[in-house]
Amino acid sequence: MARNDYLRQLGLIPSYLRLSLLRLGENKLQLWGAFATSAFSFIFYAIFWNVMTLQVPILTGVGWVVWGVGELTFLVGMTNLAWSFGAFFWMGIWEIHWYITELGIEEYQIRPVNSILQIMAQNFWAGGIIQMSVGIIMLGLSIATFGLVITPIGIVLGLLALLLGQAALYILWATLASLAFWIGRNAGLIEISDAIEWNFARMPIDVMPHLVQHFLTFILPVIFISTVPTMMMLGQLPLEPTLLYLTVAGVLVFVWILIFNAVWQAGVKRYQPVGG
């Protein structure tokens, strides 16, 4: 596909997001319910870490990082921010196996737009703006309450690590979903890895045993959801490990794009239309 075609297709994303916002606005109860759920979730986890730090005032990380109640509270806010990006752009991953096995992908193949982009984009969930709002509010409150200091370069590096790591994780999930070409509906595979991400994203992974750290960095890159972005935004990482983390995240994105593309193309070749 030519470069101009890719750019043209990416230009459709704002339109898909606008449609998602319109759908979200049709149900005000869902809107406020999602806001309340996200807010309560953050508050309870902030309370949890406050209780934990009363017992253990400081957790030490990989050698540079000190996790106190302020840093841990910021971490939870960062998790909400990260999940908002996931809600906006990646919700369609949960539907890939369903399209392959139930709905069919024929109509997406004949359109002059990438099939995966179509499946992903029509499942954008504008409710991510709710999680983003909660995350930003709570990040601001944690900074004001605990006197945390962040810098513009820290924000840029932290968001870059978050987006790269999140892309690697979700493309990995898309690859698992695409195995439906061979094994049928397989939501369980994604749900298992999602459960791991859900539980560990709000924890400082760098305080875990090394084996767990390696697994959550190189195999299931959950460390980039909130732990690494928090460390970078708070300026607690020297330059060398910062560059190393960013390089690892970038390589993981590249590797999983290659794997996903190979799996998808092989699956499409053996695909039988629904009812065919």
Question: 24-38, 89-103, 115-129 — which is least confidently predicted?
Answer: 24-38
- CA–CA distance from 80 to each of 84, 152, 221, 264 (Å)? 6, 20, 17, 30
Range of the domain at 147: 3-269
Report the pLDDT averaged over residues 196-219.
91
165 within some domain: yes
Owner of token pair 């992974």: 205
274 within some domain: no
In terms of average pLDDT, the best of 5-19, 29-43, 197-211 is 197-211
Contact (Cβ atoms closer than 8 angstroms) between residue 124 and residue 92: yes
151 within some domain: yes
Report the pLDDT averaged over residues 108-128.
74
Owner of token pair 């607690």: 236
What torsion, rounded to 10 degrees, do the Cα atoms 273, 180, 253, 196 define? Answer: 150
Q: Which helix (H) or strand (E) holds 59?
A: strand 59-60
Q: What is the pLDDT at residue 276?
A: 47
Q: How many domains does the chain have?
A: 1
Q: What is the pLDDT at residue 6?
A: 55
Contact (Cβ atoms closer than 8 angstroms) between residue 246 and residue 217: no
Q: Which helix (H) or strand (E) holds 66?
A: strand 66-67
Q: What is the pTM of this model?
A: 0.83
Report the pLDDT averaged over residues 13-27.
68
More confident residue, 269 or 42: 269
Taking only Cα atoms into account, the Rg of the chain, rounded to an integer number of angstroms, comes to: 20
275 within some domain: no
27 within some domain: yes
In whole numbers, what is the pLDDT of the chain averaged over residues? Answer: 83
Separation CA 1–CA 180 (nearest Å): 25
Q: What is the pLDDT at residue 2?
A: 46
Question: 6-10, 59-63, 97-101, 164-168 — which is least confidently predicted?
Answer: 6-10
Q: What is the pLDDT at residue 261?
A: 92
Instruction: Return the amino acid letter for 274.
Output: V
SS3 category, 67:
strand
Report the pLDDT averaged over residues 233-251.
94
121 within some domain: yes
More confident residue, 68 or 156: 156
In the 8-state DSSP scheme, what is residue 273? -
Residue burial 107-118, b: 16+ Cβ < 10 Å; e: rest: ebeeeeebbbbb
Q: How confident is the model at residue 69 (pLDDT cuts 50, 70, 90)?
A: confident
Instruction: Return the amino acid letter for 188.
Output: G
Q: Which helix (H) or strand (E) holds 60?
A: strand 59-60
